[in-house]
Amino acid sequence: MSPKSFYQNLFLVTAGTALVLAGLHFWVPQAQAHGQFAIASVLLFVLVCLGLYYAGVSSAKSKNKHAFTNLVSVSVFGKMVLSIAALFVYQQVAKPQNEWFVGIFLCCYAVFTAFEVWFMTKLAKS
Q: Provide, for the chain, the percentages of residues in helix, strand and coil under a 3-state DSSP scheme, each rounded to the nearest 5.
A: 90, 0, 10
Per-residue model confidence as pLDDT tens digits over 81-90: 999 999 999 9
- DSSP helix/strand/coil, 10: helix
Question: Which residue range forms the structural domain that includes residue 85?
Answer: 3-125
* Spatial CA neighbour of 21 closest among 5, 6, 43: 43
d(CA 7, CA 30): 33
d(CA 39, CA 18): 8
d(CA 121, CA 126): 9
**pTM for this structure?**
0.93
The number of folded domains in the chain is: 1
Per-residue model confidence as pLDDT tens digits over 27-82: 999 999 999 999 999 999 999 999 999 999 999 888 888 999 999 999 999 999 99
Terminal Cα distance for the chain, rounded: 7
